[in-house]
Amino acid sequence: MSSQREWSNMVKILVVVAALAVVVRAQKPGATHVPGSRTLVLDGMGKGTADLGGLWQFHIGDDPQWARPDFDDSGWESLLVDAPWGAQGHPSYAGIAWYRRHISIMPEPGASGQYRVLIPDAEDAYEVYWNGKLVGSYGKFPPHAYWYYSVFPRSFPINGDTGGVLAIRVWKAPLDIFSLAESGGIYVVPSLGDPDSIELNQKAITWDEVQQDLFDYSLVLLRTFVALLCVVLWTRSRKEQLFLWVGVFTVTPVGLGILQNLFFIPISYELARCINQPLYVLSNVSLWFLLVWLLRLNEDPRVLQWTEVLARTTVIIGILDGLAALFWGEATLWMQWTDAILCTCILLSELFPFALIALALRRRLDASRWAVALTAFLLQLMRTIADSSALGQRFTHWTLYSNLIDNRSFQIQGVVFGPEKLTSLALFAAILYAVYRYVLETQARRTALEQEIQSAKEIQQMLIPETLPSLEGYAVTSAYTPAQEVGGDFFQILSNPDGSTIVALGDVSGKGLKAAMNVSMIVGVMRAEAASSVSPEKIMSALNQCLVGRMQGGFATTIVCRLDMDGTVTFANAGHLPPYLNGKELTLEPSLPLGLLSQAEFSEVAVRLNPGDQLSLYTDGLLEARSKNGELYGFERMNTLFSARPSAQEASEAAVAFGQEDDITVLTLTRLAAGEESTTELVAPGLARTF
């Protein structure tokens, strides 16, 4: 019996608590929908906000009378404001439409009566009317339309009346090829409240967006640092284009992020898309060149040429598509078709990385390069599928775009990570590691090259005479100026027991250690032959037989002459430039350079030098000196130069001042009168020696 009374008392208590809860809830400020009425009652409005959700009166078209509070909108359709009008029976509609909501504000005692309405998201421009009065706008309507690339929350004052009609006039811009059919109008519920609460809500919306982009902000700093570093490395060595393309690839996402509201910069749609399209294309193009260099495809001239052609074409298409966006506010059907065609071309170009990766499959690459190739393949595949799905999606109704791009894999502290972002991060990390390995490899090659150059330099130091023998009856000057650390020029002056002297000057094709080794071989054979023969023709034939088949496709031009004590000079020439005698060019029999043909024949020509005559021998580096504007030194300047009978150093310095591009060697022999003392001068600034 007692247990029944206890159970009865408990039920009574629960009923009382439930009744009190209903009373308390009824007294809590909020929005109330009056049955059978279109009026939304906001009861107990003081501090705080109330959602303006539910059904609004909606009508497409435009009429200024629709802002009036006494306008009869009972015949309008009812629409929710938590979804765009495209998803509620008006797919692909672009133009003007009106929303109207009858509101009754019931302020709590002591309320200020000052309110604001917050509109978080609406596309694309809109005007807000309270009881027929314009209280604010976002963007501008045609004919001079202005709207933003990203949507920003805005609030507007609602003062003076405690009841009336809130009317919102919305304009949706012409749809582009990527626009959804389910778009347009208001798609996040507006709210109304006191100014302080609305401001807090507006800041909360902004903070939520910032929190989601916190990781992207850190990436901006990292990408900017990497891009600046790559630019510095590229400016130090313009031939290392990998650094340039890594810098472009890392910095373009920063620009795209700024356009897409990363820093809340209100940029107009037309200007932002005008910049976005070429910037997006540049991001793709930089990935192509990055793959070309990392996968060593730049070693194939055809691949590099096709990449450059496709890159130029795609960039032009991106610029044209961007320029079309400047007039998008008044876009007509033909502009929309043009946009569709240009975007399709850009989409097709996104298949190019697949071709580059396929070509690289035949190459032996290290793991770091293949990591870049694999992540680039996955990212490009994802982007291509997503972009293909987004292209014309309002007609195809494909959802791959939202599944791949908008899908959230996981979330950390409010930061959302999706498949596209994760793959982008993986590619960025792989590129940084591959570039690090590339720098190490480049440094190793540079060290090996420096060692090779040093070895070649040591060889050449042994081949350039440290002192010139005193030639009785002659004044001798010589100058050797290599264009690089080690060149292919050489000269020798060898005295014979009979009193004659063998003078040889030549130029070996190529540079570096290979050229130095060929020079050493030539000098060795020449010294051996000169010891047993004083005939320039025989020395030249012996040199040619020794060099044929041993120069790896190279050759050497050489002139050999024998100076006799009576002033007779006998020449043999192998493809070398003829010498000058007293400022006039001598005529010698033409012949092939050394090392090309074993059956080559060489003839001799003799001249007689009288006291005061000057003979000048030189290599083609003097003739082929080139000015900054591309002009060659040429024969005319050569004739003028040697007509002044310069010393070897003066002739060499004239060519260097004009613009040296190749090794320059000059040798002058001046016949002295009887009794004059012989002199020698050797200048070799490239070898840091002057004697």
What is the H or E stretch that residue 185 is in? strand 185-186
Measured between alpha carbons, how far is 181 from 153 in angstroms, rounded to an integer? Answer: 23
Measured between alpha carbons, how far is 223 from 427 in angstroms, rounded to an integer? Answer: 13
**What is the structure's pLDDT at 97?**
97
- Which residues of the chain carry a pLDDT beneath 70? 1-37, 399-417, 449, 452-468, 484-487, 511-514, 533, 684-691
Amino acid letter, residue 226? V
Residue 388, CB-side half-sphere exposure with 13 Å CA sphere: 10
550-573 b/e (C-beta count within 10 Å ≥ 16 → b): ebeebbbbbbbbbbbeebebbbbb
146-167 b/e (C-beta count within 10 Å ≥ 16 → b): bbbbebbbbbbebeebeebbbb
Measured between alpha carbons, how far is 578 from 587 in angstroms, rounded to an integer? Answer: 7
Measured between alpha carbons, how far is 482 from 144 in angstroms, rounded to an integer? Answer: 67
| Coil, helix or strand at residue 503 | strand
Distances in whole angstroms, Cα of residue 3 to Cα of each of 36, 241, 405: 48, 90, 63
The domains found in the chain, sorted by start residue, are 30-208 (2.60.120.260), 213-443 (1.20.1070), 467-690 (3.60.40.10)
Measured between alpha carbons, how far is 86 from 170 in angstroms, rounded to an integer? Answer: 13
Return the structure tokens found at 606.
Answer: 């003799």
Does residue 524 contact residue 543 with C-beta atoms inside 8 Å? no
Of the chain, the end-to-end C-alpha distance in Å amounts to 132
Q: What is the pTM of this model?
A: 0.63
Distances in whole angstroms, Cα of residue 287 to Cα of each of 192, 281, 354, 530: 48, 10, 11, 61
**Cis peptide, bond prior to residue 124, ω within 30 of zero:** yes
**Other residues' Cβ atoms within 10 Å of the Cβ of residue 269:** 22
Measured between alpha carbons, how far is 582 from 644 in angstroms, rounded to an integer? Answer: 9
CA nearest to 336, candidates 269, 279, 392: 392
**What is the structure's pLDDT at 73?**
93
Measured between alpha carbons, how far is 139 from 129 in angstroms, rounded to an integer? Answer: 15
Spatial neighbors of 641 by CB under 8 A, at least 6 apart, are 651, 654
Does residue 41 contact residue 52 with C-beta atoms inside 8 Å? no
What is the H or E stretch that residue 518 is in? helix 512-532
Name the burial class of residue 521, with classes exposed (0-12), middle (13-18) and buried (19+) by CB atoms within 10 angstroms of its CB.
middle
User: How much of the chain is helix, strand and coil, in % rounded to 5?
Assistant: 45, 25, 30
**What is the structure's pLDDT at 490?**
82
Beta strands in 348-464 (DSSP E): 410-412, 415-417
Task: Give the position of tokens 């399209």.
Answer: 277
CA-based radius of gyration for the chain:
43
Measured between alpha carbons, how far is 691 from 680 in angstroms, rounded to an integer? Answer: 9
What is the H or E stretch that residue 564 is in? none
Return the structure tokens found at 263.
Answer: 């820093």
CA nearest to 555, candidates 515, 604, 503, 527: 515
Measured between alpha carbons, how far is 286 from 259 in angstroms, rounded to an integer? Answer: 19
Measured between alpha carbons, how far is 327 from 516 in angstroms, rounded to an integer? Answer: 65
Does residue 682 contact residue 691 with C-beta atoms inside 8 Å? yes
Measured between alpha carbons, how far is 20 from 647 in angstroms, rounded to an integer? Answer: 117
| Coil, helix or strand at residue 188 | coil
Spatial neighbors of 442 by CB under 8 A, at least 6 apart, are 240
Measured between alpha carbons, how far is 59 from 67 in angstroms, rounded to an integer? Answer: 12
Please give the angle made by the CA atoms of 79, 83 and 86, to the nearest 5 degrees: 80
Spatial neighbors of 363 by CB under 8 A, at least 6 apart, are 295, 296, 297
Measured between alpha carbons, how far is 595 from 527 in angstroms, rounded to an integer? Answer: 18
Amino acid letter, residue 244? L
Q: How many Å separate Cα 186 from the centre of its chain?
A: 39
Rounded to the nearest 10°, the torsion over CA 202, 208, 214, 215 is -150
> Got the DSSP string for 322-359?
HHHHTTGGG--HHHHHHHHHHHHHHHHHTTHHHHHHHH
Q: Give the single-character DSSP code of 268.
A: B
> Largest Cα–Cα distance in the chain?
156
Tallying the residues shown for the chain, one arrives at 691
